[in-house]
Structure 1
Amino acid sequence: MNFLEIIDKGGPSMYPLLLLSVLSIATILERLWFWSRVVFKERKIFNRLMEAADRNWDLVGKIAQEHINHPLGNFVYSPFRLSNPDPDMFHIALESAAEEQLARMRKGDKTLEAIIALSPLLGLFGTVWGLIQALSSIKISDLGTADTSGVTLGIGESLISTAVGLLIAIISLSFYRLFQAFWSNQIRVLRRTGSRLEVMYRDRWMQEDDDQPKNIVVDNEGYTFVNIKPPLNEQ
């Protein structure tokens, strides 16, 4: 049987199954294109960011901005949009960016989940409908005669829709699990990158705070306190 014969003999459920198959293929191709750009560039961006963080912190924001279209670059650049944030704000900015990027990575998952659930059910409906049509034409007087051969053929053709529905669901589920594995790996990458940058930023912040000039001041009532002068660029 060619493609058109399969569609014709599969029954009325073949048309929604055809629509789901096209939707599944389109979603899979779009996600494959997205993840290929993410995975292949990820190691290079991570190494550049960590090397810059170790040598010259000011370059981290510039490198992240160069890769703003990559999830890792967008994630790292988020706190650098703020003006001299404290460590807590730095953490909140990274956390917010991580949620946004992880949600972006899950685009298409709901579509594949719906296809995986609906395809077998539509295939089963097509089979049941075909069985009803085939068995409704049986007469008691025809049992055991050659007239029932058409019923056997009809039952065999009614199973086409179930096979097609299962095939669509299996392919969609395979790629869905693959994309879930990519997504889980990105959680680890973002968590590792964010933790390392937070530690470096907090250490840098503490060093700058210790380097600020301090004066011991005695007020009129004899109380002594420390007067911390702001940096020259903030005076």
Structure 2
Amino acid sequence: MLSLIEAAGWPVWPIIFASIIAVGIIGERMWSLRQRVVVPRDLLPRVLNEYKRSGVTLDMISKLQQHSPLGRIFAAGLQNENSPREIMKESIEEAGRVVTHDLDRYLTTLGTIAALSPLMGLFGTLVGMIEIFGSNSPAGSNPAQLAYGISVALYNAAFGILVAIPSMIFYRHFRAKVDALAIEMELQALKLVETVQGERRSTSVPSI
């Protein structure tokens, strides 16, 4: 591997640096965007059972805020339990926008790496071409410099594409996953609103 880097020359180092950042982002997002971490399947039933049993308490709100992104959305809605439906939904939507922004973290950087890596490879190719032209002189061409220029041109182009392809694949994958998680959180939050508001209506109707 070291011999390949040496053959690619100094222009390959920005590509290597970008690849390290891309791998770090991919690993971090794969860990952070797990379904059970963002949208736990059992959270809504547990919240509804606790709400029906003891109502909204400060302890419940505090635990939800620290539990998961979905828990933060539930906490925002339950904090406005006694407000009209529109106010409760607005608070949930505001919390949802903040949570979605957090889920998008680092994806812009990953997309930028996917777009710039081929350009960095092209830059290395141009450097290699300059080396190739520099090998020609009135006294003849320098075979060593010619070979070095060709290796710089080819290796940088290859490394740039090699970094760009997986970066773009994972960028699009994570974007689609964030959209799917956002929709799932919205649906579960709506179920929470319907249940809480339904409970309020049923308790507020006077008996005859």
What's the TM-score, normalizing by structure 1?
Answer: 0.74
**C-alpha displacement of 1:11:** 2.5
1:58 to 48, 55, 59: 55
Q: Distance in 2 between matches of 1:62 and 1:180?
A: 34
Q: Distance in 2 between matches of 1:118 and 1:29?
A: 20
Partner amino acid for 2:160? G
2:161 to 161, 166, 187: 166
Q: For structure 2, list consecutive stretches of 5 or more residues without a partner in the other structure.
A: none
**C-alpha displacement of 1:73:** 0.9
SS at match of 1:68: helix
Question: Higher relative CO (CA 8 A, sep ≥ 6), structure 1 or 2?
Answer: 2
CA 57–196 in structure 1, closer or farther in 2 if over 3 Å, else same: farther
What's the RMSD between the two structures over aligned residues? 3.0
CA 99–41 in structure 1, closer or farther in 2 if over 3 Å, else same: closer
SS at match of 1:32: helix
Partner amino acid for 1:10? A
Q: Distance in 1 between matches of 2:96 and 2:63?
A: 18
Which residue number corresponds to residue 65 of structure 2? Answer: 68
Larger radius of gyration between Structure 1 and Structure 2: 1
Which residue number corresponds to residue 121 of structure 1? Answer: 119
1:19 to 10, 17, 33: 17
What's the TM-score, normalizing by structure 2?
Answer: 0.83
1:89 to 87, 90, 94: 87
Contact 2:8 2:151 in 1 (8 A): no
Q: Distance in 1 between matches of 2:32 and 2:124?
A: 35
SS at match of 1:78: helix
CA 208–126 in structure 1, closer or farther in 2 if over 3 Å, else same: same
Q: Percent identity?
A: 23
Q: For structure 1, list consecutive stretches of 5 or more residues without a partner in the other structure.
A: 214-235
Greater Cα offset, 87-96 or 99-108: 87-96
Q: Distance in 2 between matches of 1:61 and 1:188?
A: 27
Partner amino acid for 1:100? V
Matched, 1:206 2:201: yes
Partner amino acid for 1:31? R
Contact 2:128 2:150 in 1 (8 A): yes
Partner amino acid for 1:110? T
Which residue number corresponds to residue 35 of structure 1? Answer: 33
**C-alpha displacement of 1:102:** 0.5
